[in-house]
Amino acid sequence: MLRDATIADAEAIARIQRQSVEAMDSTMAAPATREDIVEQLRAMGPREVWLVVEVPEGVVGWGVVKKYSPRPGYDLCCETSIFLDRSLVGRGLGRPLQQELLKRAEALGYHHVVAKIWAANAGSIRFHERFGYEMVGVQREIGRVGDKWRDVAIMQKIFTEKPGLAPVRD
């Protein structure tokens, strides 16, 4: 089941995020605590969404739609992220989560969705391609995790043009 995250989910969200931090294969974040997640949940804006995937055993995944930038020119762009319990990756839990994140992003008036993925994470890149994201570039050696430089792939999905908002390509 998918639902909006609540403060009560903070410990499970932090646990799932820490799994990916410890694996050192998909995020450059520091390990989150329950308190970190509570703070992030409370800071969510009106055009941001935090969802969880819940099964009878508890919360096993989460995803966010967040503003891409506080700069006004980026008001129609958001970023998405998904994290699943590492033991459940590849079991189909990410698909409905991604579908709902995209549905919510479009309903919130976003036009452009960005996903930042480690360039070496071929599975995540393929996953996003199945939802219409396209690769637009790779930022080489943008961060370090452990003793290695990491490249980040930038993928984007553009929703159908909105009336009165014609694209301008400089």
What are the structural domain ranges in the chain?
A: 2-114
State yes or no: pLDDT of 167 exceeds 70: no
Per the model's pLDDT, the better-predicted residue between 167 and 12 turns out to be 12
Which residue in this structure is represented by tokens 């930022």? 139
**Residue 27: HSE in the Cβ half-sphere, 13 Å Cα cutoff:** 16
State yes or no: pLDDT of 162 exceeds 70: no
**What pLDDT is stored for residue 89 in this prediction?**
84
**What pLDDT is stored for residue 160 in this prediction?**
81
Residue 48 in contact with residue 64, Cβ under 8 Å?
Answer: yes
Two structure tokens written together for 98: 């991604």
Level-2 CATH architecture, domain 2-114: 3-Layer(aba) Sandwich (3.40)
Residue range 4-59, pLDDT digits in tens: 999 999 999 999 999 999 988 899 999 999 999 999 999 999 999 999 999 999 99
**What pLDDT is stored for residue 88 in this prediction?**
84
**What pLDDT is stored for residue 109 in this prediction?**
94
Cα of first residue to Cα of last residue in the chain, in angstroms, is 44
Q: How buried is residue 158: exposed, middle or buried, by Cβ count under 10 Å (0-12/13-18/19+)?
A: middle
**What pLDDT is stored for residue 161 in this prediction?**
67
Residue range 110-141, pLDDT digits in tens: 999 999 999 999 999 999 999 999 999 999 99
How far apart are alpha carbons 111 and 113 in whole angstroms? 7
